[in-house]
A and B are shown apart, each in its own frame.
Chain A
Amino acid sequence: MTTNTRTIQKPKPNFETKSWMFMRYSAILLIPLVFGHLILQDVIVGVHRIDLDYVAIRWASIGWRIYDALLLAFAFAHGVNGIRQVLNDFIQSDRGRKIMHWGLFLLWLIVTAIGAIALIGGVRPIS
């Protein structure tokens, strides 16, 4: 009996493969981060107890700032890359995709920068 073996060269991962992997690895990280944040802010604390002082007290501890920084970095990148995947199904021309990719990249950069500045700058007193 003969066995046929075929060697397949694993292709070098391109950008889409990496983004596919990123969606899945970030997913595992997002479970504790996003679920924790949501259960804490929405269910345990509730929006009626959130105000400027609440945020100031939370951000006084570096641990929560790091937590929020991870949330900002991973949840938003995951979300924007997800929007890109969805839009890729609708926009098929190279030109259209290029415009869409750059548009989303700029959106991601600007919103992440705004969030990061707030996170580093912290709560400012009401003037």
Chain B
Amino acid sequence: MSNLKTTMTGYASYRGREGHYSFLLHRITGLGTALFLIIHILDTSFVYFFPDLYQHAINLYRSTLFGIAEVGLVFCVFFHGVNGLRVAFFDLIAPRLWSVPKQRFSTKITLLITLLMWIPASAIMLYNMLYHNFGWFGG
């Protein structure tokens, strides 16, 4: 367990500012998406293995609780994707740009792009949820 303690205290106490936060966020969002994907592949496979139960699985996705989680999932995927592209670009194409000021700037751009994609997507998903689950907007 000492490894767990060392790694976790390192995560919490290291002060790498923007780079550190984006590292942590990249980890958490990647793990969250991966966990979702395991469940998602299994529920999609119901169409073949248990077609009678597929609708039950989808009904869970339509619940208000999942509707909120979905907004979070979309944030995770967008942030992880945009930030991952940033990492891949610097590593594969322009490693000479790995400097602290450039990272401070590019992590902020990453967050901005993520929010620009996420806010309209969330608005549409929230609209759908209010329309179908709460009867708003004439639903």
- Contacts A24-B87, A31-B85, A80-B34; A46 near B51 (Cβ below 8 A): no
Nearest CB in chain B: distance from A58 CB, A: 10
Closest chain A residue to B33, Cβ basis? A79
> Which residues of chain B (36-50) have a CB below 8 Å from chain A?
37-38, 41-42, 44-49
Q: Does B98 contact A (CB under 8 A)?
A: no
Chain B neighbourhood of A91, CB < 8 A: 3
Q: Does B112 contact A (CB under 8 A)?
A: no
Q: Does A8 contact B (CB under 8 A)?
A: no
Q: Does B77 contact A (CB under 8 A)?
A: yes
How many cross-chain pairs have Cβ atoms below 8 Å apart between A and B? 118
How many of chain B's residues have a CB under 8 angstroms from any CB in A?
A: 43
Q: In the complex, identify which listed stretch (B12-20, B102-110, B124-132) lies at the interface while the others stay far away.
A: B124-132
Contact of A24 among B31, B91, B128 (CB under 8 A): B91
How many of chain A's residues have a CB under 8 angstroms from any CB in B?
A: 47
Nearest CB in chain B: distance from A70 CB, A: 14
Q: Does A122 contact B (CB under 8 A)?
A: yes
- Contacts A51-B58, A117-B48; A76 near B41 (Cβ below 8 A): yes
Contact of A86 among B31, B67, B85 (CB under 8 A): B31
Q: Does B94 contact A (CB under 8 A)?
A: no
Q: Is the pair A52, B54 in contact by a Cβ cutoff of 8 Å? A: yes
Q: Is the pair A114, B42 in contact by a Cβ cutoff of 8 Å? A: yes
Closest chain B residue to A38, Cβ basis? B77
7 A–B contacts, CB within 8 A, in A order: A46-B124, A46-B128, A111-B41, A117-B45, A123-B48, A125-B51, A127-B52
- Residue numbers of B with Cβ under 8 A of A are 3-4, 7, 27, 30-31, 33-34, 37-38, 41-42, 44-49, 51-52, 54-55, 58, 61-62, 66-67, 70, 74, 77-78, 81, 84-85, 87-88, 91-92, 121, 124-125, 128, 132
